Amino acid sequence: MSSPSPSDLTLILSVGGSPQPLATAIEQLRPKRIVFVVSDGSDGSPSSRAMVEQAEITYDHRTGQIGPGLAHHPACPADRVIVDVPPDDLDRALARIDDRIAREVRFRPVTVDYTGGTKTMTAAMVLAATAYPGVRLQFMAGKRSDLSKVAAGTEAAVEMPGDLVGMGRAFTMIWELLGRRQYGAALAVAQHMHRDVARLSRRVPGSWARRVNGWVRVLSVLDAWDRFDHAGAFTLLDSGLEEGASWAMAFEASGLASRLERLAECAGKPNPELTEDLWLNAHRRAENGLYDDAVARLYRLAEAAVQSRLWLHHGIDTGQVDAHVLSAPIAANAPSWRDRRTGREYHRLSLTDARRLLAELERRDPFAPSWPIGMTPKWQSRRNRSILAHGFSAMTREDWQEARNWFMQRRGVLWEDLLGRPTLDQLPNQWQET
């Protein structure tokens, strides 16, 4: 009977002191090419290179069984290479193994077998293999009659689900992104993990599947909130509250649920809660170096502050103002539009015109002492010349700090007076998993 033909794959095999399971791996896979990863003896211990190169080696020291060195095994292909790595230096071992995998995956499928070698070599093999999609990871398992040796002839390849290693790292990535309040990016990672859970099915531990599902739901709420979709965020949260889900109860216990519910109730209308939310949202953008986005939110905050006062105190929506409400100078300056259904004419007010209307309607303009009409703060001038307004230059960290300081000095009149309380805490960058 002829021997089976070689498989069109490359086997990367770590070599230690027990050759039998390694020989079995070669016999079972019959690779077209093989890469032996051996210890280089750099710490004074014997190199495992001899297990590959010597014509004969000892397979069982207790019985004295002798067999061919791995490179001389009948199933070992002629196309082979040896890679020396330090046995207990993870950084250097990982670098060399990673470099070799990067070369091999360009030509054919790769299987990495980490049965032999030191614990450090095993860790390096696993970490390197899981960095490349499509690389198969395995080890040779067998029956043991004692704690020191696998019974010869019982070895069988066990595939290691490398995706699980990647999933473990993905949990860490979620924590890191949450720490920077990058809810959308964290959600994208969690959703990718959720798809992996469905694909890997029974191989994923149940506790991990529950964690992934919890993260998807928590981050879906925070991401929608961060995008000002307060109604959508509260719908997701309310569903969890009705279920009694632990992740939703965490929102309830922290007071986040009531905050979000109030924002959802006010959706589509000017309100000081939105103004406060813009302030916190701007800080989240600035924390990640997105200064143009951050200052744009502060500009919107200034508009929202005036709009909130006009709406709450006078029932006026600055996007739909009856002409009879406006004085002649404001009406002449404000663009008008006509409702097709009713035929009524309305005006839209700019920030400056909204300020003027508020000053006309109230005996004392609340903004006048610290923000006189016609005064353009330096931060606003910079914003008007920025890339997200009418110019071509980006806002800097210094621009953000100047704008932030201006609003900090006026936050009472801008939103806290209407709220009747201090500004609430920032959205979380940590989360208690349950």
Per-residue HEC secondary structure of the chain comes to CCCCCCEEEEEEEECCCCHHHHHHHHHHHCEEEEEEEEECCCCCCCCCCHHHHCCEEEEECCCCEEEECHHHCCCCCCCEEEEEECCCCHHHHHHHHHHHHHHHCCCCCEEEECCCCCHHHHHHHHHHHCCCCCCEEEEEECCECCCCCECCCCCEEEEECHHHHHHHHHHHHHHHHHHCCCHHHHHHHHHHHHHHHHHHHHHCCHHHHHHHHHHHHHHHHHHHHHCCCHHHHHHHHHHHHHHCCHHHHHHHHHCHHHHHHHHHHCCCCCCHHHHHHHHHHHHHHHHCCCHHHHHHHHHHHHHHHHHHHHHHHHCCCCCCEEHHHCCHHHHHHCCEEECCCCCCEEECCCHHHHHHHHHHHCCCCCCCCCCCCCCCCHHHHHHHCECCCCCCECCCHHHHHHHHHHHHHHHHHHHHHHHCCCCCCCCCCCCCCC
Is the predicted pLDDT of residue 151 greater than 60, yes or no?
A: no
Token pair belonging to 401? 């700090």
How far is the CA of 304 from the CAs of 223, 268, 279, 315, 387, in angstroms?
22, 12, 11, 14, 22
Q: Are residues 127 and 175 in the same domain?
A: no
Q: In terms of domains, do 342 and 375 share one?
A: yes
User: What does the alpha-carbon distance between residue 158 and residue 148 come to, in Å, rounded to a whole number?
Assistant: 19
In Å, how far from its chain's centre is CA 231?
24
- What tokens were used for 405? 């300081």
Say yes or no to pLDDT of 208 above 90: no
Q: Is residue 151 included in any domain, yes or no?
A: no
Tens-digit pLDDT profile for residues 363-398: 888 999 999 988 889 999 999 999 999 999 999 999
**What confidence score (pLDDT) does residue 283 get?**
98
Top mean-pLDDT range of 37-41, 56-60, 201-205, 415-419: 415-419
Distance between alpha carbon 183 and the CA centroid of its chain, in Å? 7
**Mean pLDDT across the stretch 284-303?**
96
pLDDT-derived band at 144, boundaries 50, 70, 90: very low
Q: What is the pLDDT of residue 65?
A: 81
Q: Quick check: 164 pLDDT over 80?
A: no
Last residue of a domain, one of 213, 233, 267: 267
Statement to judge: residues 30 and 135 lie in one domain = yes
Mean pLDDT of the chain: 88
- 414 & 283 share domain: yes
- pLDDT tens, residue by residue, 180-207: 999 999 999 999 989 888 877 767 778 8
**Both 122 and 239 in a single domain?**
no
Enter the pTM of the model. Answer: 0.74
**For range 5-11, the mean pLDDT:** 81
Max intra-chain CA distance, the chain? 108
- Mark whether 258 and 295 lie in a shared domain: no
Q: The domain spanning residue 133 has which CATH number?
A: 3.40.50.10770
Q: What is the mean pLDDT of residues 21-33?
A: 90
* Alpha-carbon span 258 to 172, nearest angstrom: 29
19-36: average pLDDT: 90
One domain for residues 31 and 88: yes
317 and 331 both lie in a single domain: yes
Evaluate whether 367 touches 355 at the Cβ level (below 8 Å): yes
| Digit-coded pLDDT (tens) for 318-343 | 999 998 899 999 999 889 888 888 88
Determine which of 10-19, 222-231, 233-242 has the lowest per-residue pLDDT on average.
Answer: 10-19
Q: Which of 206, 239, 267 is the last residue of a domain?
A: 267
Query: Containing domain of residue 135, as a range?
Result: 7-142
Say yes or no to pLDDT of 148 above 50: no
Residue 61 lies in a domain: yes
Residues 328 and 185 in one domain: no
8 A C-beta contact, residue 333 and residue 353: yes
What is the per-residue pLDDT for 147? 35
Share of the chain above pLDDT 70, in %: 92
Which residues are 353's β-sheet partners? none
Report the 10 Å Cβ neighbour count for 325.
17
Give the pLDDT of residue 140.
80
147 domain residue, yes or no: no
User: Could you report the per-residue pLDDT of 114-143, keeping only the tens digit for each?
Assistant: 888 889 989 999 888 888 878 888 888 754
Q: Which one is predicted more confidently, 38 or 3?
A: 38
300 lies in the same domain as 412:
yes
Number of domains in the chain: 3
